[in-house]
Structure 1
Amino acid sequence: MSASETFQSIPIVDVTKLRTGTLDEQKAVAEELGKAARDVGFVYITGGGIDESLFEGVLDATKRFFALPHEEKMKVYIGNSRCHRGYVPEGEEVFASGSKDKKEAYDLSMDLPADDPDYVAGNPLLGPNQWPDLPGFAQAVDDYYRAVFGLGRVLLRGFSLALGEEPTFFDKYVTKPPSQLRLIHYPFDASAEDRPGIGAHTDYECFTLLRSTAAGLEVLNGAGEWIDAPPIPGAYVVNIGDMMEVWTNGTFVATSHRVRKVSEERYSFPLFFAADYDTVVAPLPRFAEEGKALRSPLKAGEHLFAQTAQSFTYLKERVARGELALPQDAAPLSSFGQEARLKY
């Protein structure tokens, strides 16, 4: 059995030297990241250099937002946005299993001006955020977004080195990406049983950086076993997404994961690090030349939008009314990662 089939825990990698070290020291960290990406698809990272006060600030802002009355939160309902930004009420999002999750969220991304040419042209994922009328919220959330996105750029260079490329190899694909930050609230539920909450899925982008306040995250290994990935103080959970799986032709694994139902109140903050909307993601030559074609090329933004449009109720309704159309050859949900491999 391979390591991806038998892993029982998530490795921990200190990325301090990836940020501050010599090239040889960066390569040593990158080697650890690459091994985790190949064998598990998940890794805890420490030494990211993000001031803990930024996380405390976004956590406070998030708690204040979700404590607002429902009608106040609905003033920034995601369905009001033309670029998928805003409040996501409970039941709005449905994964491939068809079950509705007991959670609420607030989604945002790089805050672009209303005259941004991509937004004006109708890009479904690029544009301005919807901000609630809540003192200090936008500043705290945007500050956190910028810090974690910056750490994502550091990790991107680490993955470049892990693949034998120059550290700046992927930078040209990340100039104005629709990298989304989600503020997620799982309310206290005294009747919750230890069962799936968010349905099993892979993340659609390059990789994800996650902080959360309580246990619940589970990761699927190649043997079909669910492995706990509880939060470690100060650490970020990083997992490989669909785009990196395509670039490496399956060498890096977009590991399926889910959130089981827990009774305690839980807040979760995933930042989905994406490539630019028009980036064509295809297996890199060194992987394609191995003669295995596990993954077909895809356009990054179209894949992200297609997966999003298949899981959000308001977008599915727009598609049904003919107001939106899924990109041609859009992959169905759960087409990547260990779950897909076990299924097919």
Structure 2
Amino acid sequence: MSDTQPIAFTSIPVVNIADLWSDSLTDRKKVAFEMGQAASAVGFLYVTGHGIPADKIKALREASRQFFAQPLEQKMQYYIGASKSHKGFVPEGEEIYGSGKPDKKEAFDVGFQAPDDHPLVLKGTPLIGANEWPDLPQFRASILDYYESVFALGRKLFSGFALALNLPEDHFESMVTCPPSKLRLIHYPFNADAEDRPGIGAHTDYECFTMLLSDQPGLEVMNEKGDWVDAPPLVENGEEALVINIGDMLEVLTAGQFIATSHRVRKVSQERYSFPLFFACDYHTLIKPLPQFDSQEQSYKELSIGEHMYSQALQTYRYLREKVANGEAALPERATGVATFGHLKKHKN
């Protein structure tokens, strides 16, 4: 057996996904192969040719600036801790990741538009329910317009990942009907005295994969050696690329063939906006290694996608941590700890 170690990645691959919409299966498979290679070797990739109109991105940014420019007391009227379904305003210091220190950012979280009479809502399923919207001109319309576009892109990417795994293109389609897929509007305020240190602690994303739009450098990705690799914004032919990263659930499905690579946000002085959509399957979907990856050697246990996401939130958000501490909430039976997946798991061990 060779002692040769794989070469650690030093940059993020770029994949033009325009041919995922091609009428040619051969063309679609070619793109899927490139996606699969990036998911296996890095766990991150830039995608161009995604087709999200620039005007929708512009409206998203304008609406976000309008919201975050308000006084704190105005924003706190939509505090996530008062939400019935874990949505709304997240003030600075609310989230704590692997570093154990509060994050230097604020956010507004928007979920999948589940109607009030949906069975999951009627049953009080965590993370599923209506959004509460600030009374700001065009805010709701602009955010939902972008959400619908990027969510549709997520469906198309999921079909590409299915092809990369030698599955039918529609393999995952029935698993995505009313998912806890969250779009986050994240604002990092300007700080002229900022030191070069993380703004968000190292972590993996809980869901299947993430689609990120950002306007400033700061994102860093951990490679196999534990080194941090920059993933700055990328523009090609006038189009803003999206950063796609594999989440915990695709790592479980592939028993580690696709890796949920650890990442963090470096603290930078510039004001920065970041817009990740975390693409998930439905809450009660059970995730376990696909048959072609299932073996006695792998250690991935079956997870409920919703339970996994909710358990991570219970261990991250201050208001939920307090509910767990005082007995108002409890971790799901199959809850996993933080730092369970990806390269972060390897270096933690």
Normalized against structure 2, the TM-score is what?
0.96
Cα distance between partner residues in 1 of 2:95 and 2:259: 24
Cα distance between partner residues in 2 of 1:18 and 1:102: 37
Aligned counterpart, 1:89 = 91
Aligned counterpart, 1:58 = 60
* 2:43 aligned partner, one-letter code: G
Structure 1 unmatched runs, 5+: none
Cα distance between partner residues in 2 of 1:97 and 1:216: 17
Deviations 1:257-287 (A, max 9, x none): 0000000000000000001100000000000
The answer on 1:331 being equivalent to 2:313 is: no
Alignment of 1:79-158 (within 5 A): 79-158=81-160
Paired residues of 2:339 and 2:348 also in contact (CA < 8 A): no
Cα distance between partner residues in 1 of 2:21 and 2:89: 34
Aligned counterpart, 1:244 = 250
Q: Secondary structure at the match of 2:168?
A: coil
Aligned counterpart, 2:308 = 303
Cα distance between partner residues in 2 of 1:112 and 1:63: 26
Cα distance between partner residues in 1 of 2:185 and 2:39: 25
Aligned counterpart, 2:166 = 164
Alignment of 1:198-209 (within 5 A): 198-209=200-211
Structure 2 unmatched runs, 5+: none
Cα distance between partner residues in 1 of 2:117 and 2:35: 39
Cα distance between partner residues in 1 of 2:314 and 2:84: 13
Paired residues of 2:303 and 2:334 also in contact (CA < 8 A): no
Aligned counterpart, 1:259 = 265
Cα distance between partner residues in 2 of 1:136 and 1:48: 24
Alignment of 1:11-50 (within 5 A): 11-50=13-52
After superposing the two structures, state which structure 1 stretch, 317-326 or 207-216, moved more: 317-326
Q: What is the Cα deviation at residue 2 of structure 1?
A: 5.1
Q: Secondary structure at the match of 1:285?
A: coil
The alignment-based identity, stated in percent, is 53
Aligned counterpart, 2:289 = 283
Paired residues of 1:177 and 1:276 also in contact (CA < 8 A): yes
* 2:291 aligned partner, one-letter code: P
Aligned counterpart, 2:347 = 342
Cα distance between partner residues in 1 of 2:18 and 2:5: 29
Q: Secondary structure at the match of 2:45?
A: strand
Paired residues of 2:187 and 2:274 also in contact (CA < 8 A): yes
Paired residues, number: 342
Q: What is the Cα deviation at residue 159 of structure 1?
A: 0.3
Deviations 1:184-241 (A, max 9, x none): 0000000111111100000000000000010000000010100000001210000000
* 2:313 aligned partner, one-letter code: T
Q: Go from structure 1 to structure 2 and tell me whether the alpha carbon gap of 1:21 and 1:10 turns closer, same or farther (over 3 Å shift).
A: farther
Q: What is the Cα deviation at residue 130 of structure 1?
A: 1.2
Paired residues of 1:250 and 1:294 also in contact (CA < 8 A): no
Query: Alignment RMSD, CA only?
Result: 1.0
Normalized against structure 1, the TM-score is what?
0.97
* 1:286 aligned partner, one-letter code: Q
